[in-house]
Structure 1
Amino acid sequence: MKFADVILPLPLENSYTYRIPEDMEKAVTPGCRVIVHFGKKRYYTAIVMAVHDKEPLSSFETKDIYALLDASPVLRRPQLRFWKWISSYYLCKLGDVYKAALPSGLKLESETSVIYNEDYEADTPLRPNEQSVLDAFGGALKLTVSELEKKTGLRNVVPVVASLMSRGAVEVSEELKRGFVPKTRTFIRLVETFYDEEKLQEVFNELKRAKKQELLLVSFLDLSHTLNPVLRKELSKKELLERSGFTSNVLDGLLKRGVLECYEKEVGRLQISVCRLLPLLPLSAAQEKAYGDIHDVFKTKEVCLLHGVTSSGKTEVYIHLIDEVLKLGRQVLYLLPEIAITTQITERLAKLFGNRLLVYHSKFSDNERVEVWNKLLHGNEPMLVLGVRSSLFLPFKDLGLIIVDEEHENTYKQQDPAPRYHARNAAIVLAGMHGAKTLLGSATPSIDSYFNATTGKYGLVELSTRYGDVLMPEIIPVDIKELKRKKIMKDTLFSPLLVTKINDALAVGEQVILFQNRRGFAPMIECKSCGWVPHCVNCDVSLTYHKIHNRLVCHYCGYAIQLPPACPECKEADLRMMGFGTEKVEEEIATLFPVAKVERLDFDTARTRTAYERIISDFEQGKTQILIGTQMLSKGLDFGNVSVVGILNADSLMNFPDFRAHERAFQLMVQVSGRAGRRDKRGTVILQTSQPEHPIIRMVQHFAYKEMVGLQLSERSMFRYPPYYRLIVLVLRSRNESVLSEMSSMYAGKLRLHLGERVLGPVTPPVTRVQTLHIKKIILKIEIAAAIAPVREILETVYAEMMQYPAFKQLLVHYDVDPA
Structure 2
Amino acid sequence: MQELNDIDFSERDTLFIEVILPLSLSKNYIYRVPFELNEHTAIGKRVIVQFGKNKIYTALIKSISQTAPALYQAKYIIDVIDEHPVVNPLQFQFWDWMTAYYLCNEGDVMSAALPAGLKLASETIIILRDDVSLEELELTDKENILVTALEKQKRLTVDQISKLLGQKTVFPLIRALLDKEVVHIAEEVVEKYKPLLKSYITLNPFYNEEGNFRQLFEVLERAPKQLDALLMYIKLSKSGIEISRQQLLEDSGCGQAALKALMDKEIFFLQKKVVSRLNDESDDMILNFKLSPAQNTALEKIETEFQTKDVVLLHGITASGKTQVYIKLIEQAIEKGGQVLFLLPEIALTTQIVERIKRYFGDAIGVYHSKFNDNERVEIWKSVMNGKYKIVLGARSAVFLPFKNLKLVVVDEEHESSYKQNEPAPRYQARDAAVYLAHLHQSKIILGSATPSIESYYNALHQKYGLVTLNERFGGVELPIQEVVGIAEETKKKKMVSYFSSVLIDDITATLERKEQVILFQNRRGYATILICKTCGFAPKCVNCDVSLTFHKSSGKLHCHYCGYHESSMNICPACGSVHIEQKGFGTERIEEELSLIFPEVKIARLDVDSTRTKNSLQKIIGDFQEKKTDILIGTQMVAKGLDFDNVTLIGVINADTLLNYPDFRAFERSFQLLAQVAGRAGRRDKQGKVCIQAYDADHRIIKQVVDNNYLEMFNDEIAERRQFHYPPFTRLIFINVKHKDSNLLNAAAARFATMLRAQLGTRVLGPEQPLVSRIRSYYIKQLIIKTDKSTAIHKVKAALKQTIADFNGENAFKGVIIQIDVDPY
TM-score by length of 1: 0.94
Structure 2: distance between partners of 1:163 and 1:342: 55
Q: Taking structure 1 as reference, are residues 471 and 62 closer, same or farther at Cα in structure 2, changes over 3 Å only?
A: same
Structure 1: distance between partners of 2:147 and 2:603: 53
Structure 2: distance between partners of 1:279 and 1:753: 61
Kindly provide the CA deviation profile for residues 311-355 of structure 1, in whole angstroms up to 9, marking residues without a partner as x: 111111111211221122111111110133332222222211111
Residue 80 of structure 1: aligned partner:
92
Please say if residues 89 and 788 of structure 1, whose CA atoms lie closer than 8 Å, have aligned partners that are also in contact. Answer: no
**Other structure's SS at 2:337 match:** coil
* Shift, 1:208, TM fit: 5.1
Residue 8 of structure 2: aligned partner:
none
Residue 191 of structure 2: aligned partner:
178
- The answer as to 2:47 corresponding to 1:40 is no
Residue 544 of structure 2: aligned partner:
538
Residue 109 of structure 2: aligned partner:
97
Please say if residues 120 and 168 of structure 1, whose CA atoms lie closer than 8 Å, have aligned partners that are also in contact. Answer: no
Structure 2: distance between partners of 1:148 and 1:293: 67
Kindly provide the CA deviation profile for residues 110-164 of structure 1, in whole angstroms up to 9, marking residues without a partner as x: 112356999799958789xx99999999x99966445767999988653454245
Unaligned runs of 5+ in 1: 226-230
Kindly provide the CA deviation profile for residues 162-213 of structure 1, in whole angstroms up to 9, marking residues without a partner as x: 2454357865432222311011112222333444444444555555565554
Residue 23 of structure 2: aligned partner:
10
Structure 1: distance between partners of 2:22 and 2:432: 24
Residue 112 of structure 1: aligned partner:
124
Q: Taking structure 1 as reference, are residues 597 and 782 closer, same or farther at Cα in structure 2, changes over 3 Å only?
A: same
Please say if residues 518 and 632 of structure 2, whose CA atoms lie closer than 8 Å, have aligned partners that are also in contact. Answer: yes
Residue 547 of structure 1: aligned partner:
553
Please say if residues 325 and 400 of structure 1, whose CA atoms lie closer than 8 Å, have aligned partners that are also in contact. Answer: yes
| Equivalent position to 1:661, from 633, 643, 667 | 667
Structure 2: distance between partners of 1:234 and 1:708: 59
- The answer as to 2:442 corresponding to 1:435 is yes
Kindly provide the CA deviation profile for residues 675-694 of structure 1, in whole angstroms up to 9, marking residues without a partner as x: 11122222111111111121
Q: 1:159-174 residue pairs with structure 2 within 5 A? A: 159=172, 161-163=174-176, 165-166=178-179, 172-174=185-187
Kindly provide the CA deviation profile for residues 784-808 of structure 1, in whole angstroms up to 9, marking residues without a partner as x: 2444332222112212221232122
Please say if residues 366 and 389 of structure 2, whose CA atoms lie closer than 8 Å, have aligned partners that are also in contact. Answer: no
Please say if residues 402 and 436 of structure 1, whose CA atoms lie closer than 8 Å, have aligned partners that are also in contact. Answer: yes
Please say if residues 350 and 642 of structure 2, whose CA atoms lie closer than 8 Å, have aligned partners that are also in contact. Answer: no
Residue 428 of structure 2: aligned partner:
421
Residue 228 of structure 1: aligned partner:
none
- The answer as to 2:407 corresponding to 1:400 is yes
- The answer as to 2:700 corresponding to 1:690 is no
Please say if residues 476 and 685 of structure 2, whose CA atoms lie closer than 8 Å, have aligned partners that are also in contact. Answer: no
* Shift, 1:604, TM fit: 0.2
Structure 2: distance between partners of 1:630 and 1:136: 53
Residue 262 of structure 1: aligned partner:
270
Equivalent AA in structure 1 for residue 41 of structure 2 = V
Which segment drifts farther, 195-204 or 45-54? Answer: 195-204
Q: Taking structure 1 as reference, are residues 120 and 244 closer, same or farther at Cα in structure 2, changes over 3 Å only?
A: farther
Structure 2: distance between partners of 1:178 and 1:641: 48
Q: 1:342-741 residue pairs with structure 2 within 5 A? A: 342-379=350-387, 381=388, 383-489=390-496, 492-741=498-747
Structure 1: distance between partners of 2:114 and 2:696: 48
* Shift, 1:455, TM fit: 0.6
Structure 2: distance between partners of 1:551 and 1:73: 49
Kindly provide the CA deviation profile for residues 229-283 of structure 1, in whole angstroms up to 9, marking residues without a partner as x: xx74422222223233323433333333334322211111111335555444211
Q: Taking structure 1 as reference, are residues 785 and 281 closer, same or farther at Cα in structure 2, changes over 3 Å only?
A: farther
- The answer as to 2:41 corresponding to 1:28 is yes
Q: Taking structure 1 as reference, are residues 623 and 23 closer, same or farther at Cα in structure 2, changes over 3 Å only?
A: same
- The answer as to 2:63 corresponding to 1:50 is yes
- The answer as to 2:733 corresponding to 1:761 is no
TM-score by length of 2: 0.93
Equivalent AA in structure 2 for residue 39 of structure 1 = G
Structure 2: distance between partners of 1:475 and 1:743: 52
Please say if residues 536 and 559 of structure 1, whose CA atoms lie closer than 8 Å, have aligned partners that are also in contact. Answer: yes
Please say if residues 326 and 382 of structure 1, whose CA atoms lie closer than 8 Å, have aligned partners that are also in contact. Answer: no
Please say if residues 280 and 352 of structure 1, whose CA atoms lie closer than 8 Å, have aligned partners that are also in contact. Answer: no
* Shift, 1:712, TM fit: 0.8
Which segment drifts farther, 608-617 or 443-452? Answer: 608-617
Structure 2: distance between partners of 1:163 and 1:463: 73
Please say if residues 641 and 677 of structure 1, whose CA atoms lie closer than 8 Å, have aligned partners that are also in contact. Answer: yes
* Shift, 1:468, TM fit: 2.0
Q: 1:798-817 residue pairs with structure 2 within 5 A? A: 798-817=804-823
Structural RMSD (CA): 2.6
Structure 1: distance between partners of 2:74 and 2:293: 67
Equivalent AA in structure 1 for residue 825 of structure 2 = P
Q: 1:331-350 residue pairs with structure 2 within 5 A? A: 331-350=339-358
Structure 2: distance between partners of 1:604 and 1:588: 18
Q: 1:226-237 residue pairs with structure 2 within 5 A? A: 232-237=240-245
**Other structure's SS at 1:25 match:** helix
Which segment drifts farther, 160-169 or 115-124? Answer: 115-124
Q: Taking structure 1 as reference, are residues 222 and 487 closer, same or farther at Cα in structure 2, changes over 3 Å only?
A: closer
Structure 1: distance between partners of 2:427 and 2:168: 31
Unaligned runs of 5+ in 2: 1-13
Equivalent AA in structure 2 for residue 534 of structure 1 = P
Q: Taking structure 1 as reference, are residues 210 and 650 closer, same or farther at Cα in structure 2, changes over 3 Å only?
A: closer
Q: What is the count of residue pairs matched by the alignment? A: 809
Please say if residues 350 and 641 of structure 2, whose CA atoms lie closer than 8 Å, have aligned partners that are also in contact. Answer: no
Kindly provide the CA deviation profile for residues 621-650 of structure 1, in whole angstroms up to 9, marking residues without a partner as x: 111110000011111211111111111111
Structure 1: distance between partners of 2:738 and 2:793: 24
Residue 333 of structure 2: aligned partner:
325
Structure 1 runs (4+) deviating above 6 angstroms are 115-122, 124-127, 130-137, 139-142, 147-156
* Shift, 1:76, TM fit: 1.2
Please say if residues 728 and 819 of structure 1, whose CA atoms lie closer than 8 Å, have aligned partners that are also in contact. Answer: yes
**Other structure's SS at 1:605 match:** helix
Equivalent AA in structure 2 for residue 702 of structure 1 = D
Please say if residues 304 and 458 of structure 1, whose CA atoms lie closer than 8 Å, have aligned partners that are also in contact. Answer: yes
**Other structure's SS at 2:590 match:** helix
Residue 308 of structure 2: aligned partner:
300
Please say if residues 403 and 441 of structure 1, whose CA atoms lie closer than 8 Å, have aligned partners that are also in contact. Answer: yes
Please say if residues 651 and 679 of structure 2, whose CA atoms lie closer than 8 Å, have aligned partners that are also in contact. Answer: yes
Please say if residues 283 and 361 of structure 2, whose CA atoms lie closer than 8 Å, have aligned partners that are also in contact. Answer: no
Please say if residues 353 and 642 of structure 2, whose CA atoms lie closer than 8 Å, have aligned partners that are also in contact. Answer: no
Structure 1: distance between partners of 2:156 and 2:525: 39
Structure 1: distance between partners of 2:739 and 2:357: 45
**Other structure's SS at 2:261 match:** helix
Q: Taking structure 1 as reference, are residues 743 and 149 closer, same or farther at Cα in structure 2, changes over 3 Å only?
A: farther
Please say if residues 185 and 264 of structure 1, whose CA atoms lie closer than 8 Å, have aligned partners that are also in contact. Answer: yes
Residue 189 of structure 1: aligned partner:
202
**Other structure's SS at 1:813 match:** strand
Please say if residues 9 and 46 of structure 1, whose CA atoms lie closer than 8 Å, have aligned partners that are also in contact. Answer: yes
* Shift, 1:220, TM fit: 2.5
